[in-house]
Amino acid sequence: MTDINELAAALVAAQAEFSAVPKTAENPFFHSKYADLASVVKAAQPVLAKHGLAVSQHPTVVDGEPSLTTYLLHSSGQSLQSTMRLCAAKHDPQGQGAAITYARRFAYQAVLGLVADDDDDGNRATAVKQAEPKAKPKSPADKAREDLAALVKKNKMDIGAIAKRFTDDYGMDIREADVQTVQGFLTLIADEARGPQ
């Protein structure tokens, strides 16, 4: 194994400063929140820079299979790397892009030891009542997911089955999908709900 003493010391120091990544993205299918890739990177980046660390991720091909390689780099030149196979059910640019985004989020968290958790600043434990924060504007992808959830509810479809179908068709969780992918799936489900024309 390559010497990683400086990288390891920097990672230990960084992990002592990392806090749980706040879950800021909405999942309308499961009425829950999750930490998207942008939130994960935003939470980690200042601490990484302070300790001379960086994460770099690159799509690649290993044994003929689409993959993602994640590098943890240190300013000393020391590094670690890990490669995971991408699991895209649809082998088109959208499916591949969605699989890359999904894999990047999990690999980024894994290489740094980050966790995503609700961060209520201890309010639940102390039962302190605070003013409700202003809702942040929904992203186009969140809006498309809400439209899909409304369509599914209106047509009395099984939300779990629809979510599973999306995962099976696109190789990723609908919470990680971009707006075009969700809108394409929404159109498909809407056409099926209308039936033959």
Tokens at 150, concatenated: 């409304």
Cβ(175)–Cβ(34) under 8 Å? yes
Q: What is the pLDDT of residues 119-175, one digit of tens each?
A: 443 344 344 445 555 666 778 888 888 888 888 888 888 888 888 888 887 788 888
Sign for the pseudo-dihedral over CA of 79, 82, 88, 92: positive
One DSSP character per residue, 139-172 reads PHHHHHHHHHHHHHHHTT--HHHHHHHHHHHHSS
pLDDT at 136: 65
pLDDT at 119: 42
Helix (H, G, I), strand (E, B) or coil at 174: helix
Residue 2: count of CB within 10 angstroms of its CB: 7
Q: What is the pLDDT of residues 29-39, one digit of tens each?
A: 667 788 888 89
Spatial distance between the Cα atoms of 72 and 101, rounded to a whole number of angstroms: 18
Segments making up each domain of the chain, as ranges = 5-121+137-194
pTM (predicted TM-score): 0.60
Helix (H, G, I), strand (E, B) or coil at 42: helix
Q: What is the pLDDT of residues 5-63, one digit of tens each?
A: 999 999 999 999 998 888 887 777 667 788 888 899 999 999 999 999 999 999 999 99
Q: What is the pLDDT of residues 70-123, one digit of tens each?
A: 999 999 999 999 999 998 767 788 888 888 988 999 999 999 999 886 544 334
